[in-house]
Structure 1
Amino acid sequence: MENRNKTLLEIFLTFLRIGAFTFGGGYAMIPLIQKETVEKHGWISDKDILEIVAIAESTPGPIAVNSATFVGYRVCGFTGALCATLGVVLPSFLVITAIAFVLREFQSMKVVQYAFFGIRAGVLALILKALWSMYRQCPKNPVSYAIAAGSFILAAILNVNVLLVLILCAAAGFLASTISLRRAES
């Protein structure tokens, strides 16, 4: 029982730290979640991270919260999921609550505007790192690249919105996986 409580506290503190020191949302948190849960604590494997991202993207809600919930559940069941979710959400909740009271006073200051530009650049770097990490772990299939590129080009030519691009890419991924499975079966 004491060991389980220690693990629950570790889950809460790990995700509290991830939630407190990561800017840019869920995709920026993925490399940190991977490092903490796989490399540092050994709670899950690298393969599990890919599954977590896929599940977290396909379920409603922020990807970081969904990922934390999934990892917590994997490690300590419902209570672990609750601790991980509270840990990852609590810092943002507290910071946003505090900022809401003072932001109106400072939003017109140039130094604050420049700080947000810098934060955006850092977030972009974290997202690109997460994408690169996931790309390295995924099986390579030239057909899926061609279909996804064609979807983006078609969307750009037709000047469509982002939602249609996502739908086209999802359809392209489904088509590519279907083609790969059929080739593997024959």
Structure 2
Amino acid sequence: MANDGYLPLVLAMVRTGILTYGGGSAIIPLMRHEAVNRYAWVTDDEYGEIVAVANALPGPIATKLAAYLGYRLKGWPGAVVGVVANILPTCVAMLLLFGVLSAIRESRVAQGMIAAVNPVIAVMMGVMAYEFGEKAWKGLGRWFAIAFGALAFVLLMVLDVSPALVVLLYIVYGAFHLRLVHRVQRAKRRDRGAST
């Protein structure tokens, strides 16, 4: 793990806590930038697994990601520092700016600024979804990726299954799939060793 001390953790969590707008899903790509690109605490694949598990657990995704990354870097004290650094600046800002927000709530300028941020969040989520889809395409193969994407769409949009249950289902399948892949690879190695 790069970057000793708590300062990088605090800076990453403060940045994601302050700059995130649009709910829990908006923090996922920002936290990914900090953890994968800026500090290289985890790989892209590891981050995808962390997000999947965090989505399956109850509670806000931001605090779960902050707690996990803090714990991974510095143990339990790091988890506490990560969560506090992620939520404290926003809590203070909310208290300080509550009166201002009440005064400008009806302002067309403020409403326009808020509306301008929504497409940016949509693009960030779209880019991240594309990158995860591309990895699924390469890792599982074209037909499996299409089938699993279609199945997720049907479960979430048509049957209205809870996202947590869908993520849990895919985690269970992923564990089975990895075990099957390892078994096939071992068998291929044994066959190659026997044929030589």
Bin the TM-score by the shorter chain. Answer: 0.7 to 0.9
**Partners of 2:120 and 2:128 in 1: CA distance:** 13
Kept in 2, the 8 Å contact 1:15–1:84? The answer is yes
**Partners of 2:56 and 2:39 in 1: CA distance:** 26
- Residue identity (%): 26
TM-score by length of 2: 0.72
1:23-172 to structure 2, matched below 5 A, reads 23-138=21-136, 139-140=139-140, 141=144, 142-151=146-155, 154-155=158-159, 164-166=160-162, 170=166
**Partners of 1:30 and 1:172 in 2: CA distance:** 18
- Structure 2, unpaired ranges of 5+: 185-196
TM-score by length of 1: 0.76
- Map of 2:190 onto structure 1: none
Q: 1:153 to 1:40 in 2, by over 3 A?
A: closer
Please tell me whether Structure 1 or Structure 2 has the larger radius of gyration of its CA atoms: 2
**Partners of 1:7 and 1:77 in 2: CA distance:** 12
- Structure 1, unpaired ranges of 5+: 156-163
Q: CA shift at 1:49, angstroms?
A: 0.2
Kept in 1, the 8 Å contact 2:55–2:167? The answer is no
RMSD: 3.2
Kept in 2, the 8 Å contact 1:151–1:168? The answer is no
| Number of residues of Structure 1 aligned to a counterpart in Structure 2 | 173
**Partners of 2:47 and 2:158 in 1: CA distance:** 31
Kept in 1, the 8 Å contact 2:56–2:168? The answer is no
Q: Which amino acid aligns with 1:87?
A: A
